C-alpha cells in the first residue's frame, strides 16, 4: 500500500518572510508526518500533527503568528476530515487557541461538525484544552504589519463605510500563509486538514473557506484536498469538493488539481492553490497565484527527503 503526505504553507503574491524559511517549515512538517505514516499511524493523526507543527511555526498565518483582524484581534479557523468515514470537524473565529486544528479534531469526535466563536472556546475548555494568552499567538511582525495598516487607514481622508476599515476587497494581495496537509496511510485512508488566521485585516467575524468543508478542505474515499487563497471565491466554487469529484470521475490527481484551479481562474478573479492526494498516492499540486509553498513525500517515488516547491 502506498503512503504519502503533502503540506502547504500558503499562496499569494508576497510571502511574509524569506521563501526558504517557508519551505523549510513545510519540509519539517512533512518529515514529522512521514514518520507517523511509516510507523503505521493514521492519515488523520498525520495531518493533525503536520498542521500543529505549522501552527507552532510563527512565520505562517495559523496558530502562533496568525494575522490580525481590522480591530486588532486574532480569530482562527481550522477544519479536518477523514475520507473513509466522512467524519469532519471545524472551528471558526475562535480566539486564544494555540492549536485550532486539534480543537477541530475534537469537534470531529463530537456530535458537531462546526463550532464558532465563544461556543468553540467553551467547547475547548470542556475538552480540557486550555486557553492561551493573546500574546502567545501574537508575533512582533504581525503586530507591526497591523500597526502600519492602521496608520495608513488613519492617514486617509475618505469617509469610512464600516466601523473598521478592512481590505477594500477580499482580492487584495496581502500576505498569506495559511497551512494545510493531506495524507494517505497504510490502510488506504485519506485525510485533509487546513488552518488559518484568515485574510489580514479581515472584518471581525469574517470567515473564509478554510473551516468550511468542501471549500477549504475535503476528504473522501477518492481524494484528500487542502486549499489556500482568496477564501470567498473558494467558497462560491466549492473548490475542495470539486477537486475530489474530478478524481472520483476518473481524473489523475495532477489533472484534477489543475482542472480545479482552471475553474477558479475562469469563474472568479480570486487566486490561490490546492494540494491533493488520491488513494494510489498520486499527488496533485496547482496554483494560479505567484507562489504556493509546499512540500511532499510519496512512497510511489521512493523518496528519502521531502521535495519542496513554490
Catalytic residues: 178
Is the Cβ–Cβ distance between 230 and 197 less than 8 Å?
no
At 310, list the grid cell: 513554490
CB of 111 to ligand ASP, least distance (A): 26
Residue closer to ligand ASP by CB (options 13, 35) is 13
Residue ranges in 223-242 that form contacts with ligand ASP under rule CB under 6 A: 228-229, 231
Residue closer to ligand ASP by CB (options 73, 186) is 73
Contact segment (CB under 6 A) with ligand ASP among 138-146, 147-155, 209-217, 243-251 equals: 209-217
At 219, list the grid cell: 476528504
Residues in the chain: 310
Q: Per-residue string for binding with ligand ASP, 142-181, x by CB under 6 A? A: ----------------------------------x-x---
Question: Per-residue DSSP letters for 244-271?
Answer: HHHHHTT--HHHHHHHHHHHHHHH-S--
Chosen residue from 33, 83, 208, 214 binding ligand ASP by CB under 6 A: 208
CB of 147 to ligand ASP, least distance (A): 21
C-alpha 71/C-alpha 201 separation (Å) is 8
Contact between 199 and ligand ASP (CB under 6 A)? yes
Residue closer to ligand ASP by CB (options 34, 217) is 217
Residue closer to ligand ASP by CB (options 64, 298) is 64
Strands 4-12 and 179-184: antiparallel
CB of 219 to ligand ASP, least distance (A): 17
Residue closer to ligand ASP by CB (options 102, 228) is 228
Chosen residue from 83, 198, 281, 306 binding ligand ASP by CB under 6 A: 198
Is the Cβ–Cβ distance between 272 and 292 less than 8 Å?
yes
CB of 310 to ligand ASP, least distance (A): 15
Contact between 23 and ligand ASP (CB under 6 A)? no
Which long-range contacts (C-beta less than 8 Å, at least 24 apart) are formed by 267-271? 267/237, 268/233, 268/236, 268/237, 269/171, 269/233, 270/170, 270/171, 270/229, 270/230, 270/232, 270/233, 270/234, 271/11, 271/12, 271/171, 271/229, 271/230
Chosen residue from 64, 201, 210, 308 binding ligand ASP by CB under 6 A: 210
- Residue 254's CB is within 10 A of a number of other CB atoms, namely 15
At 289, list the grid cell: 497565484
Residues in contact with ligand ASP by CB under 6 A are: 10, 176, 178, 196, 198-199, 208-210, 216, 228-229, 231
Amino acid at each position: 500500500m502506498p503512503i504519502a503526505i503533502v503540506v502547504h504553507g500558503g499562496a499569494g503574491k508576497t510571502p511574509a518572510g524569506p521563501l526558504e524559511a517557508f519551505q523549510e517549515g513545510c519540509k519539517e512538517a512533512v518529515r514529522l508526518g512521514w514518520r507517523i505514516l511509516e510507523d503505521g499511524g493514521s492519515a488523520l493523526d498525520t495531518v493533525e500533527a503536520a498542521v500543529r507543527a505549522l501552527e507552532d511555526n510563527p512565520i505562517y498565518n495559523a496558530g502562533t503568528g496568525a494575522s490580525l483582524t481590522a480591530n486588532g484581534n486574532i480569530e482562527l479557523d481550522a477544519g479536518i476530515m477523514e475520507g473513509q468515514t466522512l467524519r469532519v470537524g471545524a472551528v471558526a473565529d475562535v480566539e486564544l487557541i494555540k492549536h485550532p486544528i486539534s480543537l477541530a479534531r475534537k469537534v470531529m469526535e463530537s456530535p458537531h461538525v462546526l463550532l464558532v466563536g465563544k461556543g468553540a472556546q467553551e467547547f475547548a475548555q470542556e475538552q480540557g484544552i486550555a486557553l492561551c494568552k493573546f500574546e502567545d499567538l501574537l508575533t512582533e511582525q504581525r503586530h507591526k504589519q497591523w500597526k502600519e495598516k492602521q496608520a495608513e487607514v488613519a492617514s486617509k481622508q475618505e469617509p469610512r463605510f464600516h466601523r473598521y476599515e478592512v481590505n477594500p476587497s477580499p482580492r487584495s494581495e496581502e500576505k498569506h500563509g495559511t497551512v494545510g496537509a493531506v495524507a494517505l496511510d497504510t490502510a488506504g485512508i485519506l485525510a485533509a486538514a487546513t488552518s488559518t488566521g484568515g485574510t489580514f485585516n479581515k472584518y471581525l467575524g469574517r470567515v473564509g473557506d478554510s473551516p468550511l468543508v468542501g471549500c477549504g478542505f475535503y476528504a473522501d474515499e477518492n481524494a484528500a484536498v487542502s486549499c489556500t487563497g482568496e477564501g470567498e471565491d473558494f467558497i462560491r466554487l466549492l473548490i475542495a469538493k470539486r477537486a475530489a469529484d474530478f478524481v472520483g470521475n476518473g481524473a489523475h490527481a495532477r489533472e484534477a488539481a489543475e482542472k480545479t484551479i482552471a475553474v477558479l481562474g475562469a469563474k472568479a478573479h480570486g487566486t490561490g492553490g490546492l494540494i491533493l492526494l488520491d488513494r494510489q498516492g498520486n499527488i496533485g499540486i496547482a496554483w494560479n497565484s505567484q507562489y504556493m509553498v509546499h512540500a511532499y513525500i510519496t512512497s510511489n517515488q521512493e523518496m528519502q527527503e521531502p521535495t519542496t516547491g513554490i
